[in-house]
Amino acid sequence: MTVINAIWLLIVNIMVWLVLHFSISALCFKIPLRYFLKDVVFLRIAEWEENGKIWNRLFLVKKWKRHLIDGSSIAKKSYNKSHLHGTKREDLKIFAAETKRAEITHWLLILPAPLFFIWNPVWAGWINIAYALFANVPFIMTQRYNRGRIESIVGLSNRSN
């Protein structure tokens, strides 16, 4: 592979990731909040997560989560999860719902990573898999950490709303 080919491949991969990030994020932003207010099995905080505390114990989430970019800094109309918008039960329920939206967005951003094997050499495909995980798993852990703590305060754990 020549340097020119490598640069071209890098540009193509960056552009595809940008399109994926913006389009998947935009689609998830359009999902009505009421969907995320429901108890969805896939997004439910499991008992082994200890109300989100496991994420801090294993990965020290509390130390680095403030360095992650909140989606509201990019999409101004989205919900800013960098701080609470109130301490009333309804405020906390909305915050927890928005963490579900963010989590599902980041799971969906990982899914297309295997497609990069179509036009990339195998080694570059694996780099894109690593990128997808590195760019999304910290956000998923943070959402589960925050939601677990909020749901335990509000008493939402494992209940339908």
Please report whether residue 67 resides in a domain. Answer: yes
Q: How many residues does the chain have?
A: 161
- Written as one letter, the residue type at 153 is I
Please report whether residue 161 resides in a domain. Answer: no
Angle at alpha carbon of residue 126, lines to 73 and 11, rounded to 5°: 55
pTM confidence score: 0.84
Q: What is the model's pLDDT at position 161?
A: 42
Please report whether residue 37 resides in a domain. Answer: yes
Distance between CA atoms of residues 76 and 159, nearest Å: 31
Residue 143 belongs to what domain range? 3-154
pLDDT tens sequence for the chain (161 residues):
789 999 999 999 999 999 999 999 999 999 999 999 988 899 999 999 999 999 999 999 999 998 888 766 555 566 655 556 667 888 889 999 999 999 999 999 999 999 999 999 999 999 999 999 999 999 999 999 999 999 988 876 544 44
CB 35 within 8 A of CB 41: no
Q: Structural domain tally of the chain? A: 1
CB 146 within 8 A of CB 52: yes
